[in-house]
């Protein structure tokens, strides 16, 4: 893991046309190159080059790949992984061959599905009969018990009636039973008349039972047939598994190659391409290209210092274990190239915030267990869809559970009970007003702690911003920006003044002349910011702005900046009071459940209420604390140093998720 | 409850779902699929995932269509559950349109079995049988032996006035067309009555969109029955939904029984000039006595234009105030047309239509 974003280098290579295919495959295998269009580099040179012309349109390859994936999915076959040996053994891609195979297979499946449909329709019809029998809706049924002419066969009658989804059978006395839907009665009667049906006037008590078993038998028959067809479809696909897998690899490689080659430019005999790779992999990539092109290539490297930072893609190298927090960062945006990697800081800030809001050893243990069990489940069932407790949540709970447990140890909370002495202070006792002595004895003390925590977080954000600005060589911003040194100084002076004011019981402001001198210096710096920036712009563009315009901008900017610095720092700091708020709510809820449980005077009711209380608190408070921690990171912490304006580094390789349409 | 609290959650959620719907290339991929099996297979892993599951279990397109219908109901029920009582009762009226569709399907099945004396066997399984808005015993409708039995199912519902005048004999003589028309018209009556109970901002959005919608529907009916089915002028008033700006202008003539096709047409040309020019082209085809198929395509062109106008009306609400019922109306409409497109493509694949034919139908 690196503290800053990964250092990049831009490669520009020219290879002989005949080797470009091998180079593409070698680069795909490495999967570290983020390609850029040559046209973006040098417009004069680009005009002399021709662009890539695909043999088969990319859309066709993507469609075929999609069809292939679809069939593999229907056969419950996982997508194959692509490795070098398989790529080397691939033959020439032939769209027509692929299409023929896919059409043939898909046509056969279609035929089987058609048979499945017919069975399903029969199944539905008999299921309707059975549901009326089970629900005793005999009004909708037509049960007949009788005989047919001796010259007619019962099998013929059964065959004729089966088109109405009626069942017929013979009981032990030789009488025939027929069950159909009453809505088909007239048509059934017509058929039966032709068979000379005579109804038994005494009826039978067992006729419905016999009919019911006949219907169940039919349902079973058709269900079996459907299962058989589903199995046949699966077997049909599995029979061609090897061919389909190979085809998928071929299509995917062709698709990726086409995607990569779309960045290429060509002269008569050479191929020219360019892209970004991590500086640490530069030597490796160079070797790969040399080997693939048998040395018939020219490679040039461009250092990151020679290109505008805002054009360099950002790669963030975070430890794998921090993946849940890396995702929080990427959801917010991509860090600028060369800036601080926000993931480790986010990890610490998020975990501490959560621990302060949701501090309980028992409940933390439950969160940890959910994370472990969920993680194990998804490990065993890699194809399972994410449920309410998703894969991501499980991995996050692996951090939040222990964090909550540590918080519980510090504040002495075990499923809402103070079973052991707190290592820091007893949160329950403080909130419920019976804390004895100690540095923290009231909710105001807790609020004070969270505000101090907020100040630490905000200052960390400011310091990270100063480091980023220094590395980006944006010295003017470093000094004059609201999140720069002036803003930081004003914030520090404001904190000092506020603490003094609170310390005197809200009676007087500090009289220290250094404070006022500091404020005046900062305000002067904010005023001179306008003219300094104007001079800088003039120096860069060689064009001087009108003095009146500079003065107007300076005055406007000064007022806006002052207002923004005072209001935003104040609100950002006070925002951290929510950490205390959530913690207090957590304790209050557990106390309320305990009181309710005690009122019952029954041990079983007591235990049930406490279990229910814990479940509700874990679900509701846990969710709340998670959301509030995220919110504090995004709005109070990230806004100080993380612009999210970077370009994401998206290398193309066999395992990358590039989708080309 | 203020508007922001009422709509912030549900509208944000629906807008996110709309974003997913718009960015999906599912329809295009389905059009290109070589057969039904592959077309349905493409829905796996998308928001229509359940369709592929149902198809793989049954191989039955009609079962897939029922699943699509169930999704539509579940979606509106979800919206209703997320709203306060007043707004929820309005969305329930929208759901009643879906309920009417199910009533029509059930009555058509009954009609087929009892009036046309056709065998319906398994087809009853494709009727949605759970509660939609009213407690309707769907199984009783399917198994009814007379229309009086069907009517009895609706006795305690707002649909009864539509059912009441109809008998077995009348249905046998006149068919289901007028009955279904009355059922459709009664929905517009309920809709405009429900709109008046909405608060001001919601009412403005709903009135704006549904007044245009009812006009477009009236034009559609006029073209469908006036041109394609060549209804006589005296039958035209019956197809007119008694709401909207076109109807209000033509109402005096309709009441006096003096409405002619040309009256209606000239009004449409004034109000909707683009429709007027399409009608001109249709006239030309009629005068040239072209084949029935060509006339059908001419009518289809006008229908597609009207459908695109309706879509535009419902989509434009999304750019307005985000804290009104507009987003919900738009979402329900856009989901419905997406579902209809999927249904059309799947039917087309079943019957082996070409890509070109499908695209022409979808416009």
Question: Cβ(A398)–Cβ(A372) under 8 Å?
Answer: yes
Q: Region A110-126: what's the mean pLDDT?
A: 94
Q: What is the pLDDT averaged over residues A154-160? A: 91
DSSP characters over A334-395: BPPTTSB-HHHHHHHHHHHHHHHHS--HHHHHHHHHHHHHHHHHHHH-TTPPP-SS-HHHHH
- At residue A43, does pLDDT exceed 60? no
Tell which wins on pLDDT, B263 or A103: A103
Q: How would you class A150 by CB atoms within 10 Å of its CB: exposed for 0-12, middle for 13-18, buried for 19 or more?
A: exposed
Angle between helices B200-223 and B273-287 (to 10 degrees): 10
Could you read off the pLDDT of A422-470 as tens digits, one per residue? Answer: 999 999 899 988 877 778 888 899 999 999 999 999 999 999 999 999 9
Residue A48 has pLDDT above 60, yes or no: no
Question: Which position has the higher pLDDT, B334 or A661?
Answer: B334
Nearest to A414 by CA among A450, A366, A352: A366
Cα R_g (chain A), whole angstroms:
37
Average pLDDT over residues A477-503: 93
Q: Which residues, listed in sequence order, are joined to residue A298 by a DSSP beta bridge?
A: A14
Which chain B residue's Cα is nearest to A138?
B143
Average pLDDT value for residue range A32-56: 66
Instruction: Give the C-alpha separation, A37 to A491, whole Å.
Output: 45
pLDDT in tens, A624-657: 999 999 999 999 999 999 988 899 998 988 877 6
Pick from A159-173, A248-262, B172-186 the range whose average pLDDT is largest. Answer: B172-186
Tell me the domain boundaries of chain B: 9-59+325-363, 84-198, 199-323
Q: Do B34 and A103 touch (CB under 8 A)?
A: yes
pLDDT along chain B (363 residues), means of 10: 85 88 84 93 91 95 97 95 92 96 96 90 92 96 94 95 95 93 94 94 93 89 75 77 89 81 83 82 68 72 84 89 93 94 95 92 80
A278-294 per-position pLDDT tens digit: 999 999 999 999 998 88
Q: How far apart are CA A474 and CA B24, in angstroms?
A: 42
- A124: nearest CA in chain B? B122
For testing contact with chain B, the best of A121, A163, A219, A661 (most B CBs within 10 A): A121
Cβ pair A120:B38 closer than 8 A: no
8 Å CB contact between B360 and B300: yes
ipTM: 0.87
CB A4 within 8 A of CB A341: yes
How far is residue A262's CA from residue A35's CA, in Å, rounded to a whole number? 10
Alpha helices in A12-57 (DSSP H): 20-30, 43-47
Residue-wise pLDDT for A184-220, tens only, equals 888 899 999 999 999 988 877 889 999 999 999 999 9
Say which range, A70-84, A278-292, A357-371, A594-608, has the weakest mean pLDDT.
Answer: A70-84
Higher pLDDT, A260 or B354: B354
Measure B128 CA to nearest chain A CA, in Å: 13
DSSP-assigned letters across all residues of B262-302? HHHHHHHHHH-HHHHHHHHHHHHHHHTT--HHHHHHHHHHH
pLDDT at A268 over 80: no
Instruction: Kindly list the residues from chain B whose CB atom is less than 8 angstroms away from the CB atom of residue A383.
Output: none
Instruction: Give the separation between CA A479 and CA A469, rounded to whole angstroms.
Output: 9
Beta bridge partners of A14: A272, A298
- Residue A661 predicted with pLDDT over 50: no
- CA gap B237, B229 in Å, rounded: 15
Chain B positions touching chain A (beta carbons under 8 Å): 25, 29, 32-38, 41-42, 44, 55-61, 63, 113-114, 117, 119-122, 124-125, 139, 142-145
> Quick one: pLDDT at residue A439?
80
Q: Is the pLDDT of residue A38 over 90?
A: no
Residues of A in contact with B145 (CB under 8 A): 182-183
Residue A503 above 70 pLDDT? yes
CB pairs < 8 Å spanning A and B: 93
Contact between B125 and A124 using a beta-carbon 8 Å cutoff: yes
Q: Taking CB atoms and an 8 Å cutoff, what residues of chain A touch B55? A: 113
- pLDDT range class, residue A163, cuts 50, 70, 90: confident
Tokens for A302? Answer: 């461009």
Chain A residues touching B34 at Cβ < 8 A:
67, 102-103, 106
List phi, psi (to 5°) of A466: -65, -40
Choose among B60, B61, B119: nearest Cβ to A187: B119
Q: Which of A66, A67, A69, A70 to mutate to test the interface with B (most CBs of B within 10 A)?
A: A70
From the CA of B189, how many Å to the nearest CA of chain A?
A: 34
- Cβ proximity of A500 and A509 under 8 Å: yes
Q: What pLDDT, on a 0 to 100 scale, did the predictor assign at position B255?
A: 81
Q: Report how far residue B155's alpha carbon sits from residue B169's, in angstroms, rounded to the nearest whole number.
A: 20
């Amino acid at each position: 893991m690196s503290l800053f974003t990964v250092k990049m280098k831009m490669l520009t290579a020219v290879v002989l046309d005949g080797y470009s295919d091998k180079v593409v495959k070698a680069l795909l295998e490495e999967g570290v190159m983020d390609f850029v269009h040559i046209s973006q580099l040098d417009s004069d040179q680009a005009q002399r080059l021709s662009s890539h012309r695909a043999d088969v349109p990319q859309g066709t390859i993507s469609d075929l790949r999609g069809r292939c994936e679809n069939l593999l999915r229907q056969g419950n076959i996982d997508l194959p992984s692509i490795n070098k040996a398989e790529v080397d053994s691939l033959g020439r891609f032939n769209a027509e061959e692929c299409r023929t195979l896919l059409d043939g297979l898909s046509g056969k499946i279609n035929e089987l599905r058609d048979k499945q449909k017919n069975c399903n329709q029969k199944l539905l019809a008999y299921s309707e009969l059975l549901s009326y029998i089970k629900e005793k809706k005999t009004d909708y049924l037509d049960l007949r018990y009788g005989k047919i002419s001796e010259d007619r066969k019962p099998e013929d009658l059964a065959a004729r009636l089966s088109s109405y989804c009626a069942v017929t059978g013979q009981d032990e006395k030789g009488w025939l039973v027929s069950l159909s839907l009453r809505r088909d009665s007239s048509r059934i009667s017509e058929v039966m008349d032709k068979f000379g049906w005579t109804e038994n006037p005494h009826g039978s008590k067992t006729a419905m039972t016999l009919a019911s078993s006949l219907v169940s038998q039919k349902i079973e028959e058709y269900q079996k047939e459907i299962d058989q067809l589903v199995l046949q479809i699966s077997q049909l696909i599995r029979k061609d598994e090897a061919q389909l897998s190979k085809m998928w690899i071929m299509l995917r490689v062709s698709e990726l190659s086409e995607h990569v080659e779309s960045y290429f430019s060509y002269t008569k005999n050479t191929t020219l391409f360019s892209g970004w790779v991590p500086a640490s992999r530069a030597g490796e990539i160079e070797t790969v290209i040399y080997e693939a092109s048998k040395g018939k290539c020219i490679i040039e490297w461009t250092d990151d210092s020679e290109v505008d930072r805002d054009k360099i893609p950002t790669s963030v190298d975070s430890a794998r274990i921090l993946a849940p927090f890396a995702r929080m960062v990427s959801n917010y945006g991509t860090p600028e190239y060369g800036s601080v990697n926000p993931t480790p800081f986010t990890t610490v800030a998020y975990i501490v915030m959560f621990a302060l809001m949701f501090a309980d050893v028992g409940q933390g243990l439950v969160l940890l267990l959910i994370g472990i069990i969920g993680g194990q489940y998804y490990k065993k069932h890699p194809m399972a869809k994410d449920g309410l407790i998703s894969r991501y949540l499980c991995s996050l709970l692996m951090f939040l559970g222990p964090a909550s447990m540590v918080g519980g140890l510090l504040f002495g909370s075990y499923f809402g009970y103070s079973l052991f002495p707190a290592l820091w202070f007893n949160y329950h006792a403080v909130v419920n007003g019976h804390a004895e002595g100690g540095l923290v004895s009231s909710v105001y003390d807790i609020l004070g702690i969270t505000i101090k925590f907020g100040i630490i977080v905000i200052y960390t954000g400011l310091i990270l911003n100063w480091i980023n600005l220094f590395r980006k060589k944006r010295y003017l911003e470093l000094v004059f920006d609201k999140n720069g040194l002036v803003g930081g100084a004003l914030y520090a002076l404001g904190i000092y003044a506020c603490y003094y004011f609170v310390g005197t019981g809200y009676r007087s402001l500090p009289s220290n002349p250094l404070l006022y001198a500091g404020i005046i210096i900062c305000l002067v710096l904010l005023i001179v910011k306008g003219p300094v920036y104007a001079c800088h712009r003039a120096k860069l563009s060689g064009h001087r702005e009108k003095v009146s315009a500079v003065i107007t901008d300076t005055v406007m900017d000064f007022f806006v900046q002052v207002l923004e610095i005072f209001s935003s720092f104040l609100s950002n700091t006070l925002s951290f009071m929510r950490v205390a708020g959530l913690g207090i709510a957590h304790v209050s809820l557990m106390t309320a459940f305990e009181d309710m449980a005690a009122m019952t005077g029954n041990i079983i009711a007591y235990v049930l209420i406490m279990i229910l209380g814990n479940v509700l608190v874990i679900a509701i408070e846990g969710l709340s604390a998670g959301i509030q921690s995220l919110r504090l990171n995004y709005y109070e912490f990230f806004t100080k140093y993380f612009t999210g304006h970077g370009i994401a580094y998206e290398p193309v390789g066999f395992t990358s998720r590039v989708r080309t349409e | 409850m203020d508007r922001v609290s009422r709509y912030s959650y549900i509208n944000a959620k629906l807008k996110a779902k709309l974003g997913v719907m718009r960015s999906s290339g599912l329809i295009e991929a389905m059009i290109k699929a070589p057969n039904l099996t592959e077309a349905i297979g493409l829905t796996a892993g998308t928001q229509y995932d359940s369709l592929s599951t149902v198809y793989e279990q049954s191989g039955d397109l009609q079962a897939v269509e029922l699943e699509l219908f169930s999704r539509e109901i579940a979606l509106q029920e979800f919206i209703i559950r997320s709203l306060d009582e007043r707004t929820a009762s309005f969305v329930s009226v929208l759901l009643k349109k879906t309920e009417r569709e199910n009533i029509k399907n059930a009555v058509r099945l009954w009609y087929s079995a009892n009036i046309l004396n056709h065998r319906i066997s398994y087809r009853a399984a494709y009727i949605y049988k759970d509660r939609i808005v009213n407690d309707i015993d769907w199984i009783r409708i399917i198994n009814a032996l007379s229309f009086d039995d069907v009517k009895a199912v609706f006795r305690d519902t707002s649909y009864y006035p539509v059912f009441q005048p109809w008998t077995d004999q009348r249905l046998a003589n006149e068919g289901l067309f007028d009955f279904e028309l009355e059922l459709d018209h009664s929905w517009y009556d309920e809709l405009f009555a429900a709109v008046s109970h909405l608060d001001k901002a919601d009412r403005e959005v709903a009135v704006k969109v549904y007044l245009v919608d009812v006009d477009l529907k009236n034009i559609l009916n006029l073209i469908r029955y006036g041109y394609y089915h060549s209804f006589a002028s005296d039958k035209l008033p019956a197809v007119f939904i008694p709401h909207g700006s076109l109807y209000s202008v033509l109402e005096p003539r309709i009441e006096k029984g003096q409405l002619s096709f040309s009256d209606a047409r000239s009004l449409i040309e004034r109000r909707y000039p683009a429709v007027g020019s399409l009608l001109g082209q249709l006239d030309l085809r009629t005068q040239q006595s072209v084949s029935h198929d060509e006339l059908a395509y001419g009518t289809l062109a006008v229908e597609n234009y009207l459908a695109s106008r309706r879509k535009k009306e419902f989509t434009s609400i999304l750019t307005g105030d985000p804290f009104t019922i507009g987003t919900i109306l738009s979402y329900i409409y856009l989901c419905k047309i997406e579902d209809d497109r999927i249904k059309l493509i799947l039917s087309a694949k079943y019957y082996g239509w070409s890509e070109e034919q499908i695209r022409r139908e979808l416009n």
